[in-house]
Amino acid sequence: MRIATLALLFMSTVAFAQETILGFNESDSLSQQELEAAFDSEINSAELDEWLRILSSEPHHVGTRKGRENVEFIAEKFRSWGFDTEIAEYEILFPSPKTRELELVYPTRYTATLEEDALPEDPSTSSVADLLPPYNAFSRDGEVEGELVFVNYGTPADYDILDRYGISVEGKIAVSRYGGSWRGIKPKLAGEKGAIATIIYSDPADDGYGRGDTYPDGPFKHESAVQRGSVMDMPTYPGDVLTPFIGATADAKRLKREDAPTITKIPVLPISYRDALPLLEAMGGEVVPEQWQGGLPITYHLGPGPARVRLKLEFNWDMVTAYNVIARMPGSEHPDQWIIRGNHHDGWNHGAADPLSGLVALMSEAQALSRLAAAGNKPARTVIYAAWDAEEQGLIGSTEWVEDHAEELDEHAVAYINTDGNSRGFVNIGGSHVLEKMANEVMRDVIDPQTGVSVGERRRANLQVNSNNPRTRDEARNREDLRISPLGSGSDYSPFLQHLGVASLNISFSGEAADGSYHTLYDTYEHYTKWRDPGMVYGAALAKVAGRATLRLANAPRLPFEFTGLSDNIALYIEEIETLADEMREKTAEINSMLESGIYDLVLDQNESLGPPKSNSAVPHFNFAPLKNAISELDLASQEYKSNSSDGRSASKAENILLYTSERELIRTAGLPGRPWFTHHIYAPGFYTGYGVKTIPGVREAIEQRQYDLVAQQIDTAAEVIKGMTARVNQLNQ
């Protein structure tokens, strides 16, 4: 009844589907729409559910029996659907735990259990052959003993606060909560600051009973649950730590392990909040700042000490084989133009949500595509489905494959479409803004399973109601296309987008099923189907969104790349960076002036150790004109291309090549300062945020990190990159 009413209310939206599709003329649009309707009818939630159950029945990280079985299962499916299927193997370094000991030795004694409880309500939690116990992959070995310092989330801003208290982690063990940054940043920064180890725990305020009922009563983090995860320095380079830039083939030239720059400098171990409580309770020193207090029933203290812990970590530094399943359906017209659609298959444990909920959608898409092909509708371009291994350890399977096939991909890769864990709620699409228009048309044409309106309309509604950003609310009402978000890192799009410059999208649903299963023993079939996507209806919706994106890229006579969205988003980033510089300049001047006038001496409580903030050299004014001039020209060129191509006329092969290789204009082989593997000059994961994106990263991070003498050169590079794109668009305009 409710859905019927809604469908009625929003018929106008559904009518959109009758419009033409970017890259197709009117009549081609109609046949494509028919094809997509047929595609939809092949997506079967019950099948997704069945595959999810099978694939998630046991732990299946890289190197396991079950992992290998899953590879065979997936490959066999692809073969049965008529794909040219190969299993691409890479020999990678994979540390697994040999010794994990964590003990509070003073002033009381407590030995951390470091184990997750099996729950009678969830049989999967007892099916633990090959279970990897909680640990952080690519922590170095070590045995240390030292006093604890509480570093909150362990971000640069947190260390600024500790500095104000006169507290250093030098020679101490930093205890950090998960959140606030990607986990790998915590040991990276703690190591830079001289800590001898890092312990990371999930605070119940962020990820536990403070969020909602805990598993199995609800979806949130069980008191014994531990978030595993890689801590390799991915913002330097992801993938096998021994083979940066090259595929980790059997005979690849490898770094020595001790020379691998992406292994942590200090040991690091994740623990549960149940294990964290005795440690934090034993700490003394100053009470933490208000925002640092977590959800445990104690007063949090900064330390150092008196709590001392002993931590001993040893790993099996094994070489294991990672297996990527690569399944090809050659294009009927343009076999040398490749659309790549990927999702990893390895999980930390059972991995029902992460990654299998996305993988089963991908499989469903592949099956549907094969049936369309069997019915005479082969894709015009080659479609490659990839199920990556060893993503969890650092995007290893995908990165090695990309590095291994860099030249071919540079020539042939049209776009990469990624998914990973899925959930219920609102569609999220992030990625290359040359694909923003296409992404919006896809969101317009897929129906939300709960409300009967398009997933785009539902996302628009959500932004209007729930966004805290006035610009976002306003744009949700008035901007023709919803912005897609720029990509940082955290899944397998990184090597495609940020290393090779292959236009990429990352797609998921979320927002209605927050939970605490991520990278824990409790990411099971039972948990997923009870709390995240009962009936796998959003799994089906994901398949329809990612499937449409794949099909349109595969079939469009003119590739659905568009440049006004890119230009508008880059313009926004430039504006943001200018504002950032202005605000830093103002804030720095304000603090310096207050320091000079001695005002902090009047304000700060002489009974406490909190000192004034530190002074910084004045933030200079930067010449943003090159960027602004460049973006004005890109905007003009983009408008012209839009108007030229608006009639849906098809493109020549040469034009299509110019279109899909346009993203390559945004990379420079020299890479970003200090991290040459990352070549994209518009999108990168933050060097000190990890997964969090930094747009126009060369310029933004130079300012953020107060490396002012780098800024002008980075502005020039970014402007050159934009000019390159403008030249490319103007080539298309000729």
Candidate list 37, 287, 618, 670; residue touching a copy of itself; CB under 8 A: 287
Helix (H) / strand (E) element for 504: namely strand 504-511
From the list 96-104, 310-318, 377-385, 596-604, the region that binds a copy of itself by CB under 8 A is: 596-604
Q: Which is nearer to a copy of itself, 30 or 461 (CB)?
A: 461
Angle at 550 between CA 77 and CA 723, to 5 degrees: 140
Q: Is there a cis peptide before residue 304, judged by omega within 30 degrees of 0?
A: yes
Among positions 355-414, residues that touch a copy of itself (CB under 8 A) are: none
C-alpha pair distances (Å), 564 with each of 494, 568, 692, 712: 24, 6, 24, 26
Candidate list 293, 472, 731, 733; residue touching a copy of itself; CB under 8 A: 293
Q: Which is nearer to a copy of itself, 194 or 284 (CB)?
A: 284
Q: How far is the CB of 510 from a copy of itself (least distance, A)?
A: 12
Candidate list 296, 325, 442, 702; residue touching a copy of itself; CB under 8 A: 296
Q: Which residues contact 602 (CB under 8 A, 6 or more apart)?
A: none
Number of residues counted as binding a copy of itself (CB under 8 A): 48
Examine residue 291 and tell whether it contacts a copy of itself (CB under 8 A). no
Among positions 419-478, residues that touch a copy of itself (CB under 8 A) are: 424-425, 448, 450-451, 453, 457-458, 461-462, 464-466
Please state, as a whole number, how many other Cβ atoms lie within 10 Å of the Cβ of residue 692: 16
From the list 72-80, 214-222, 263-271, 629-637, the region that binds a copy of itself by CB under 8 A is: 214-222
Examine residue 297 and tell whether it contacts a copy of itself (CB under 8 A). yes
What is the spatial distance between Cα 718 and Cα 696, in angstroms, rounded to a whole number? 7
Please state, as a whole number, how many other Cβ atoms lie within 10 Å of the Cβ of residue 82: 17
Residue 492, φ and ψ in degrees, nearest 5: -75, 5
Examine residue 9 and tell whether it contacts a copy of itself (CB under 8 A). yes
Q: Which is nearer to a copy of itself, 352 or 453 (CB)?
A: 453
Q: Which is nearer to a copy of itself, 353 or 659 (CB)?
A: 353
Q: Which is nearer to a copy of itself, 468 or 607 (CB)?
A: 607
Candidate list 374, 375, 599, 727; residue touching a copy of itself; CB under 8 A: 599
Length of the chain (residues): 734
Q: Which is nearer to a copy of itself, 94 or 209 (CB)?
A: 209
Q: How far is the CB of 290 from a copy of itself (least distance, A)?
A: 8
From the list 74-82, 135-143, 559-567, 590-598, the region that binds a copy of itself by CB under 8 A is: 590-598
Residue 154, φ and ψ in degrees, nearest 5: 70, 30
Contact 284, 307 (CB under 8 A): yes
Handedness of CA 461, 463, 464, 465 (dihedral sign): positive
Examine residue 6 and tell whether it contacts a copy of itself (CB under 8 A). yes
Candidate list 107, 261, 598, 611; residue touching a copy of itself; CB under 8 A: 598
From the list 226-234, 256-264, 601-609, 691-699, the region that binds a copy of itself by CB under 8 A is: 601-609
Candidate list 107, 601, 615, 727; residue touching a copy of itself; CB under 8 A: 601
Examine residue 214 and tell whether it contacts a copy of itself (CB under 8 A). yes
Q: Which residues contact 607 (CB under 8 A, 6 or more apart)?
A: none
Q: Which is nearer to a copy of itself, 133 or 295 (CB)?
A: 295
Residue 727, φ and ψ in degrees, nearest 5: -60, -40
Among positions 183-212, residues that touch a copy of itself (CB under 8 A) are: 204-205, 209-212
Q: Which is nearer to a copy of itself, 371 or 530 (CB)?
A: 530
Examine residue 602 and tell whether it contacts a copy of itself (CB under 8 A). yes
Q: Which is nearer to a copy of itself, 508 or 717 (CB)?
A: 508
C-alpha pair distances (Å), 386 with each of 376, 491, 613: 23, 13, 50
What is the spatial distance between Cα 515 and Cα 570, in angstroms, rounded to a whole number? 34
Closest listed residue to residue 117, CA positions, set 215, 44, 43? 215
Candidate list 594, 636, 710, 712; residue touching a copy of itself; CB under 8 A: 594
Examine residue 606 and tell whether it contacts a copy of itself (CB under 8 A). yes
Handedness of CA 82, 43, 648, 26 (dihedral sign): positive
From the list 6-14, 321-329, 683-691, 701-709, the region that binds a copy of itself by CB under 8 A is: 6-14
Tell me the helix, strand and coil percentages in the chain, rounded to 5: 45, 20, 40
- Residue 174, Cβ density class (10 Å: 0-12 exposed, 13-18 middle, ≥19 buried): buried
Please state, as a whole number, how many other Cβ atoms lie within 10 Å of the Cβ of residue 671: 19
Examine residue 605 and tell whether it contacts a copy of itself (CB under 8 A). yes
What is the spatial distance between Cα 142 and Cα 232, in angstroms, rounded to a whole number? 16
Q: Which is nearer to a copy of itself, 462 or 609 (CB)?
A: 462
What is the spatial distance between Cα 389 and Cα 442, in angstroms, rounded to a whole number? 28
Q: How far is the CB of 468 from a copy of itself (least distance, A)?
A: 13
What is the spatial distance between Cα 643 and Cα 557, in angstroms, rounded to a whole number? 17
What is the spatial distance between Cα 162 and Cα 130, in angstroms, rounded to a whole number? 41
Radius of gyration over every alpha carbon of the chain, rounded to an integer in angstroms: 26
Among positions 74-133, residues that touch a copy of itself (CB under 8 A) are: none
Find where tokens 């590739």 sit.
Answer: 559
**Which chain residues interact with a copy of itself by CB under 8 A?**
2, 5-6, 9-10, 204-205, 209-214, 218, 220, 287, 290, 293, 295-299, 424-425, 448, 450-451, 453, 457-458, 461-462, 464-466, 512, 594, 597-603, 605-607
